[in-house]
Amino acid sequence: MSVVYLGLGSNTNPGQHLATAIDWLGREFTGLELSPAYRSASVGFDGDDFINLVARINTNLEPLQLKHQLTSFEDANGRDRTTPRFSDRVIDIDILLYDDMVSDDPKLILPREEVLQYAHVLRPLAELAPALKHPRAGKTMGDIWQAFSGKTGYLSPVKTPDL
């Protein structure tokens, strides 16, 4: 059984779409744990704020099988793949870490680079799993967050019932 950390985000009716995704993850996978949720400004385009959080799951699926299942869920819930990379999202679920796997396969880069780039990914991950070591950086998520230079900017906690 593999331990996987997923980044979830939405800026289009995020309360509803994130709740639907969390409910689905709880039915499809074991060991579901959630970080606190955070509101942040959209990145790379002018759009509504995003709500982001991190989920921990256990799975027997191989990484690309899991990615396919997550993509199928996103598509079934209104994800439009014809839009630019940085644009509004009904639901976005990314594999951040899959065990301690390191992969440069263009189909699935692990760990996901955004873990070390964006506060809205790193902070919830560091809160959920502060002692977890980043497979490339060799430091814990808590230590990486403490040293993170990108803490400036809009990132505010959201009460989970409100998402």
39-97, pLDDT tens digit by residue? Answer: 998 876 677 899 999 999 999 999 999 999 999 999 998 777 777 666 677 899 999 99
Higher pLDDT, 50 or 161: 50
Give Cα 124 distance to the centre of its chain.
9
What's the confidence (pLDDT) of residue 86? 65
Q: Nearest to residue 135, comparing CAs of 110, 152, 160, 109?
A: 110
Fold type of domain 2-114: Alpha-Beta Plaits (3.30.70)
Number of Cβ within 10 Å of residue 102's Cβ equals 12
**For 123-136, what is the mean pLDDT?**
98
Give dist(CA 104, CA 75) in Å, integer: 25
Give dist(CA 10, CA 94) in Å, integer: 12
- In this predicted structure, the answer to whether residue 160 has a pLDDT above a threshold of 70 is no
- In this predicted structure, the answer to whether residue 161 has a pLDDT above a threshold of 70 is no
- In this predicted structure, the answer to whether residue 150 has a pLDDT above a threshold of 90 is no
| Exposed e or buried b per residue across 33-58, where buried means at least 16 C-beta atoms within 10 angstroms of its C-beta | ebbebbbbebeeeeeeebbbbbbbbe
Q: What is the pLDDT of the chain when averaged over all its residues? A: 91
Give dist(CA 18, CA 92) in Å, integer: 9
